[in-house]
Chains A and B, each alone.
Chain A
Amino acid sequence: KAGVTQTPRYLIKTRGQQVTLSCSPISGHRSVSWYQQTPGQGLQFLFEYFSETQRNKGNFPGRFSGRQFSNSRSEMNVSTLELGDSALYLCASSFARGNEQFFGPGTRLTVL
């Protein structure tokens, strides 16, 4: 089976712009979670989607949003980018909620 894929892998944006990141889970996986990782920091939970519904949301401002499609692919959007949004954004998929989670390679976002 192909692993979790994320596009794009690298992105450079300027403050105030918006960005959309995409995550394709492992075939058959229906749960997708998103995390933000900054240097020296752990994995900060953004949100979790299952069956096209957001099930949990982390402590991030409303500028961060996401969605999941019927084929389980997920997108996250960040509007009005700030310098502090520069980070590695990881998505992870699992067959069901609470099952083994597998990570994608991440999208490295740089905000200038």
Chain B
Amino acid sequence: GENVEQHPSTLSVQEGDSAVIKCTYSDSASNYFPWYKQELGKRPQLIIDIRSNVGEKKDQRIAVTLNKTAKHFSLHITETQPEDSAVYFCAATGGNQFYFGTGTSLTVIP
């Protein structure tokens, strides 16, 4: 089955700096890659996603890049703000089960 690895497990940045979280996957059949943000005590929320026919997608301060050849995808958050502090999960699916990374705890220091 698919194996998704996520790094780093924790990340601290100064407010205004950029944050990058990376994930790798193993199954070349995976074609959909969402990113979720989970604030403390809340449900995971879909923040951005990308499909395998696209290399990059942006939504305001967040962007996701996908390298199908290397089987890795990354989340980029620019101009970080304290409210970006949360746990971020990447995931991959080939059309059935979703496989999640182990999460990255992001702390934005004011």
Number of interface residues of A (CB under 8 A): 21
The verdict on A106 contacting chain B, using a C-beta distance below 8 Å, is: yes
- Which residue on A lies nearest to B94, using beta carbons? A98
Query: In residues 18-44 of chain B, which contact A (Cβ within 8 Å)?
Result: 31-32, 34, 36, 42-44
Contact status A33-B43, CB under 8 Å:
no
User: What chain B residues lie within 8 Å of A102 (beta carbons)?
Assistant: 46
A42 touches B46 (CB 8 A): no
**A45 and B46 form a contact (CB under 8 A):** no
B92-105 near A? 1/0 per residue, CB < 8 Å: 01111111111100
Report A43-86 residues with CB < 8 Å from chain B CB.
43, 45, 48, 55-56
- Residue A104 at the chain B interface, CB threshold 8 Å: yes
How long is the Cα–Cα vector from A42 to B7 in the complex, in angstroms?
13
A97 and B95: CB pair below 8 A?
A: yes
Chain A residues closer than 8 Å to B36, beta-carbon distance: 103
10 contacts between A and B (CB under 8 A): A33-B98, A42-B100, A43-B44, A45-B99, A48-B97, A55-B97, A98-B93, A98-B96, A103-B43, A105-B43
Which residues of A pack against B, CB within 8 Å?
A: 33, 35, 41-43, 45, 48, 55-56, 90, 92, 97-106
